[in-house]
Every structure is written in C-alpha cells, then in structure tokens.
Amino acid sequence: MRMKIVGTGSALPKRIVTNDELSQIVDTSDEWIRERTGIVQRRIATQETTTSMAVEAARKALEDAKVDPEQIDLVIVSTFTPDRSLPNTACAVQGAVGCRHAAAFEMNAACSGFLFALNTVYAYFSLGVYKTALIIGAETISKMIDWTDRSSCVLFGDGAGAAVVQMDNESENPYIFVQHADGEKGNVLTCDCHRKANMWSETSDQRETLWMDGQEVFRFAVRKVPECIGEVLEKANLSAKEVDWFFLHQANKRIIQSVAKRLNVEESKFPVNVDHYGNTSAASIPILLDEWKKTGRIKEGDRAILSGFGAGLTWGAALIDF
Ligand code: ACO
C-alpha cells in the first residue's frame, strides 16, 4: 500500500523572541544557546492559539493540495498543548475548515505526534476505510514553560504544520514505518497541565510546567533515532545512502548532526530549521516539510525518511516517497 503527501501548510506566530531577549529574563546567553542547541530565535504566540494556528495551517495545506475540504475523510490533530480539553482540537479544525464529512480526533504522542498520526492514517488507508486525510501538528508550548528555568525555556517555540495525505499507488516504495514507546522512562520529560484536585481530593491543585532531564533526553535521542531509522531501512531493503532526505524532529541541531554521523550520511540531507523556530514538538516535522516543499527543495519522486522522538518516551521513523 502506497501513500502520498499531496499538500502542506504551516502557521507561525508573528512574535519573534531572540536569544538575546531571553538572556534578559534568565541567566543565559546567545552564545550558550547557539552552541548547545543551534537555536537563534523562536516564535512565541501572543494572540495566536493552538486552534487558530492549526486552522491556518490546515487551510494552506488544503489549498496547496487543491483538495476540497468536503473530500477529507479524517482529521487528526496532534498536540500536547490544546486550548481546551473539550471539544478536541481536530473537531474545532474540522468545523472551521469545512471538512464536514470527516471524522476528527486529537492524539498526543508529544514530538512523535505528527509521525504517529501519519502511521494511523496509513492503517485506515490499508483497511480501505478512508482515502484522504488531513493531519496537523500544532503547539503553543510557551504557555507550559517555566520561564525561570533556563535549561528548558530556551529550547521551545510555538507553531503548526499540516499535511493532506492520500492513497497513491504510483509511488515506487510502499509506506514503511516503525513506532515505539517506553513508558518506564516517561519521567525524564513531563508536563502536568490538568487540574488534579476536586472538593474531596487530598491532592493539591498545583499547575505544573514542562520539566526535562535534558541530558537523558539527549542520550535517548542519539541512540534511538538511528536505531529506528535502521529498522525502516532494513524493512525496505534500502541503504541510508539511497534516501534523499531525513526529516527529523527539530529538537536540537547537535542531535541531528549526531544522527547523520551515526548513519554515515552527509548532513546536507538533514533539513534544519530549529535555528529559527526552536523545538515546536508535534508541529516541527510538518513545518519543516512545508518549508522544504515551498522552497522547491523536495522534488517529485524524492525518497524521504521522517523520524520523531520525544516525551513518553515515544519514537519512530517512516519511509515515504514524494
Ligand atoms: N544558559 C546557560 N547555561 C545553561 C543553560 C542556559 N540556557 N541551561 C543549562 N545551563 C548550564 C547548566 O546549569 C550547567 O551548568 P553547571 O555545569 O554549572 O551545572 C551547564 O549549562 C551544562 O548543562 P547541561 O545540562 O550539561 O548542558 P548540555 O550540554 O547537556 O545541554 C541541553 C543542555 C541543550 C538541554 C541538552 O541536554 C539537550 O539538548 N537535550 C535534549 C533536549 C531535547 O531535545 N529536548 C526535547 C526533546 S523531546 C521534545 O521535543 C518534547
């Protein structure tokens, strides 16, 4: 079974926050952030919301794909920073964009979310249930950040990316994916965002923010990402050299460089935009795909590996033809 991304779109907040601006809030410097992460600036939502950016990215992807919203069978929004618990963000997008025949639900697999949504769509396509889907990764991580914690606040940004996906039997390669989770190591990256207390509860109703053991996450990523890419290559009977692009979740430039080195592939095949957007979690891969597509760098027939990794822990990779 083959599957194709037929359109992409993205939406970013207008407000740019530079490393120098952050150095006025916490004890950090432009030099430290650039050297350790590759990040120069990020976009931070001031008026934008997870839903508003998801809707904007979705509209652009549908326009790019030249697909009528009524043709969409399924809408999935991947996020860990929804505006509301109910209704879910995918229903909000479905209503706003006019995908009136589509089922819609939200899923949270943190920074692997877009990839896991793509895999879910593939499963529906394989069963013959749906033919056209709209997938969105959207985040306003800035509202979950502890802006006094220099080890995490410099890393993240807000934004949304979307893709319209269709069954396609012309592609040379079938869609191949692997996806994994390790809940036992979940405590290395956490974010409690819902109320815990009720009037009978003995639990305090403290609102918590994102917390991360950066070094553990770094070690996990540089080990697991090459490993799962290797699994996909083996299933496809391809070598890393035969792949045109490696679209990795944009968490840290050093992680991307390390993966390229371990796979023995030139870094130029690993698109990077973490420098100007920071880590946008589930939105990072579709924003990157949109940027590379709109600037004409992805050519028809190019073969790409996508790889996501993040909280959960969750990670995975997929092979897809353009
Ligand atoms: N500015 C200046 N100094 C800092 C900052 C900062 N922003 N943050 C930490 N430091 C200090 C630390 O306090 C420490 O000081 P000390 O030696 O006096 O104790 C020193 O810098 C080194 O800290 P480390 O944590 O060892 O720095 P490291 O080189 O590991 O880099 C980083 C930290 C950038 C967080 C790195 O570990 C990393 O990128 N990890 C992966 C993070 C990631 O990718 N997370 C997201 C993936 S999952 C998802 O996307 C949701």
Closest CA to 273 of 295, 299, 301: 295
The residue assigned the tokens 């652009």 is: 60
Structure confidence at residue 170 (pLDDT): 72
Q: Which one is predicted more confidently, 193 or 116?
A: 116
Q: What is the DSSP letter of 200?
A: T
**Which tokens in the block code for residue 236?**
């496809």
Residue nearest to atom 42 of ligand 1 (CA): 214
Give the count of beta carbons closer than 10 Å to the beta carbon of residue 63: 12
Q: What is the number of the ligand 1 atom nearest to the C-alpha of 215?
A: 37
Distance 54 CA to ligand 1 centre (A): 30
Active site residue 194: no
- CA dihedral of residues 268, 271, 275, 276 (deg, nearest 10): 130
Q: Return the residue whose CA atom lies nearest to atom 31 of ligand 1.
A: 36
Percent of the chain with pLDDT strictly greater than 70: 98
Which ligand 1 atom is at minimum distance from the Cα of 309? 48
Q: Rounded to the nearest whole angstrom, what is the distance from the C-alpha of residue 218 to the centroid of ligand 1? A: 9
- Across 31-53, average pLDDT: 97
| CA dihedral sign, ordered 237, 243, 249, 253 | positive
Mutate to test the pocket of ligand 1, among 25, 33, 36 (most ligand atoms within 8 A of CB): 36
Q: How far is the CA of 155 from the centre of ligand 1 (A)?
A: 9
Pocket-forming residues, ligand 1, beta carbon under 6 Å:
28, 32-33, 36-37, 110-111, 150-151, 154-155, 189, 212, 214-215, 217-218, 221, 251-252, 255, 279, 281, 310-311
Residue nearest to atom 24 of ligand 1 (CA): 215
Task: Express each pLDDT in 3-25 by its tens digit.
Answer: 999 999 999 999 999 999 999 99
What are the Cα distances from residue 158, in Å, to 8, 278, 315?
A: 18, 8, 21
**Residue 203: its pLDDT value, please?**
75
Ligand 1 atom closest to the Cα of residue 154 is 7
CA of 33 to the centre of ligand 1 (A): 9
**CA 102/CA 38 separation, integer angstroms:** 39
Q: Which long-range contacts (CB under 8 A, 24 or more apart) does 259-267 make?
A: 259/221, 259/222, 259/225, 259/226, 259/229, 259/307, 262/222, 262/226, 263/226, 263/229, 263/230, 264/240, 265/240, 265/241
pLDDT at 208 over 80: no
* The two three-digit tokens of residue 66, written as one number: 């030249």
For ligand 1, atom 2: residue with the closest CA: 28
- Active-site residue among 111, 153, 228, 252? 111
Instruction: Kindly give the distance from the C-alpha atom of residue 321 to the centroid of ligand 1, in angstroms, as a whole number.
Output: 35
E strands of 191-277, at which residues? 211-212, 245-248
Q: Of the listed 99, 108, 119, 249, which one is catalytic?
A: 249
Sign of the Cα torsion 267, 271, 277, 280 reads negative
Q: Separation of 298 CA from ligand 1 center, angstroms?
A: 33
Residue 19 known to be catalytic: no
Q: What is the pTM of this model?
A: 0.95
**Average pLDDT estimate for 270-279:** 98
List, for residues 171-183, the tens digit of each pLDDT value: 667 899 999 999 9
The region of weakest confidence among 65-79, 184-198, 256-270 is 184-198
Answer yes or no: 180 catalytic: no
Q: Supply the pLDDT for residue 201.
A: 80
